[in-house]
A and B are shown apart, each in its own frame.
Chain A
């Protein structure tokens, strides 16, 4: 552990995360408010932020449970939203290959959109994977700590933020920022378009099933579009 850990790289990772906190703080506050208004206890709120460590999953879990959705549907929905982690994991894997198992297991826990974006850049610049590993740990440790504080602050004092600020809008904005880069090829744009139309059409379905149905419609549309392209 001590031979791999590099303090300067750890600190560099944490430092590079500081601008990202601008988006993380309001997002965490919103997640805390969501847990509180959904009727979670403070321990349950901490459980959400500490173990899920994913704003999207936390928001969905609280919204679905508050709406009375079945536990299985809630779990499945949160899991589907977390599927993007598979792709991050695949992209990170070659860079973490040389590390000891417990480093890989620890780093996987702090793999988030923000840490991924910062660290993959660092790995591509640095020859030695150990530098990138400590950097990754630095980004993850700062984000995890700040995330817990922001969610807890939101749980206790989030209601002090005026509703007129519409701060909850940072949540769709964050997803929008993740969505736009996925629309680089024609088939993905078709998938997104079909999913968008479907989610509006299916809006009346119970338990936010519109999400899952729209996702499936979008995937099917993307596959058809890709097949048509390759057939041409």
Chain B
């Protein structure tokens, strides 16, 4: 598949699918009978998928290189950010706290070495 065709296929398909997801219940607010097990499974999608997306960018410092220690600034920043997210439920607060912690941790790491 040519590059432009691949890009536009993805853009249009994901654009349409995202829009349909957003519209889904807003358009069809009448009750749909989803099998209970599917409904329960859907309930775990955010926790499972978001963890799967977030974790690698925190614990991998390089491809295939795990680092679970305080010398990984991203891990330290993520822990502080998670605490802020838990206490405040604020997206912006979480981002600000995480970035500031990341910069401080990176700076400390440079100063100590």
Contact = CB atoms under 8 A, between A and B. Distances in A.
Contacts of B95: 22-23, 26, 170, 173-174, 177
B53 A211 contact: yes
Given A20-B91, A44-B7, A218 B18 contact: no
Interface of B: 1, 3-4, 6-15, 17-19, 21-27, 29, 37, 40-60, 64, 66, 74, 77-78, 81-82, 85-86, 89-96, 98-99, 102-103, 106
A166 interface: yes
Interface residues of A, number: 93
Contacts, number: 265
B92 A22 contact: yes
Contact of A215 (B25, B48, B81): B48
Interface of A: 19-20, 22-23, 26, 39-41, 44, 47-48, 51-54, 56-57, 61, 65, 71, 74-75, 78-90, 92-94, 96-97, 104-105, 107-109, 111, 113-114, 117, 165-167, 169-183, 187-189, 191-196, 198-200, 203-204, 210-211, 214-219, 221-223, 226
Judged by DSSP, the binding face of B is: helix
B53 A56 contact: yes
B14 A191 contact: no
A218 B53 contact: no
B61 to A, nearest CB: 12
28 contacts: A19-B92, A48-B11, A51-B14, A53-B18, A57-B18, A71-B10, A75-B13, A88-B22, A89-B23, A89-B25, A89-B26, A97-B29, A105-B27, A108-B26, A117-B91, A166-B99, A171-B57, A176-B50, A177-B95, A178-B50, A182-B50, A188-B44, A191-B44, A195-B52, A200-B56, A210-B56, A216-B48, A218-B51
